[in-house]
Amino acid sequence: MRTFLRRNPRILLGGTIVVLLVFIAVFAPVIAPYDPTKVDVTQGLRPPSAGHPFGTDDLGRDVLSRVIWGSRISLSVALISVSIGFGLGVSLGLAAGYFGGLFDLLAMRLIDTLLAFPALLLAIAIVATQEKPEIQYAMIAIGIVAVPAYTRLTRAQALALREREFILAARTVGARPVRIVFRHIFPNLANALVVQATLGTAGAILAEAALSFLGLGAQAPTPSWGQDISYNARYLPNLFWWMSLAPGTAIFLAVFSFNFLGDALRDALDPRLRRAA
């Protein structure tokens, strides 16, 4: 492991930022200097200072504390939606690729249908079916939108693998399909899926921020990066820039670190994928 990391410093760098982000999210209650929802109008709209390094918003809430707590929403939405996309997408892809035939045909038409919708718009349409937007719906919507990427990747690899000798050998000794799929095909996909899930996490953070920005994700007063930008943008004409820029920079750093790590993992784990990208 140590040699692997030494040979791939980009993974080390990207991984460190990601670990740091997770640390901030987990220990937000300890790290954040103030209660992110505590209103103190007398302290409203203060520019960055020693007491409030990122300033305060119109209700006097500490922007730094809200950015720290906001990482919880971003990362938990990313974790859950990537799990939904991964779980559904990989299962469908494995089944379609291994069994083929009519199931494959129907599954791929379903995926084509999902792909026919622009991703953000489909997520919006799913969340918009609810009377009151809530963060759970955003998680589900982002997860569903991510399914095709995992299915296509898994199916293509499963199709190629099922003709290989070691699978034929497993079949010859009487291994059942479920065992072949999970014990022999799935482990061979792990590298490509790790890369996809890392890049997918970046996409999910971005999607959550976009939905929250549009008022379809986390709801006030929950601290959320996307929602905070949208709420604070009304003060831009007064040049109160800190309230919007701090959460925006947080989104950028989080998405950048996962993209950076994903790219580095792709280069290290699968040189063929790198050429295809």
Partner 1 sequence: MGQYILRRLLLMIPVAFLVSVVVFVLIHLSPGDPVAIFAGGEVQDPVVIAAVRQQYGLDQPLPAQYVIWLEHALQGDFGRSLRTRQPVLEAITERLPKTLELGGAALLLSIVIALVVGTIAAVRRNSVVDLVATGVTIAGVSLPNFYLGIVLILVFGLVFRVFPPGGYSDFATDPFENLKRLVLPAITLASASTALNLRQVRSSLLDVLSQEYLRTARAKGLRERTIVMRHAWKNALIPVVTIFGLQVGAILEGAIITETIFFWPGVGRLAVDSINGRDYPVVQGIVLLSALSYMASTLVVDVLYAWLDPRISYRSRSA
Task: For the chain, state the CA radius of gyration.
Answer: 22
Separation CA 68–CA 79 (nearest Å): 17
Separation CA 270–CA 153 (nearest Å): 13
Minimal distance in Å, beta carbon 42 to partner 1?
26
17 binds partner 1 (CB under 8 A): no
259 binds partner 1 (CB under 8 A): yes
119 binds partner 1 (CB under 8 A): yes
The angle subtended at Cα 213 by Cα 201 and Cα 224, nearest 5°, is 65
277 binds partner 1 (CB under 8 A): yes
Q: Are 52 and 62 in contact (CB under 8 A)?
A: yes
Binding mask 184-203 for partner 1 (x = CB under 8 A): ------------------x-
18 binds partner 1 (CB under 8 A): no
Chain centroid to Cα 109, Å, comes to 25
Separation CA 277–CA 272 (nearest Å): 9
- Kindly state the tokens that stand for 44: 């409203």
By CB under 8 A, name the one of 214, 268, 269, 273 that touches partner 1: 214
Number of residues forming the site for partner 1 (CB under 8 A): 47
Minimal distance in Å, beta carbon 178 to partner 1?
28
Which positions from 125 through 164 interact with partner 1, judged by CB under 8 A? Answer: 125-126, 128-131
260 binds partner 1 (CB under 8 A): yes
Minimal distance in Å, beta carbon 153 to partner 1?
18
78 binds partner 1 (CB under 8 A): no
Which among 40-48, 49-57, 184-192, 250-258 is the span making contact with partner 1, rule CB under 8 A?
Answer: 250-258
Binding site for partner 1 (CB under 8 A): 109-110, 112-113, 116-122, 124-126, 128-131, 202, 206, 209-210, 213-216, 226, 229-230, 233, 236-237, 239, 241, 244-245, 248-249, 251-252, 255-256, 259-260, 263, 275, 277
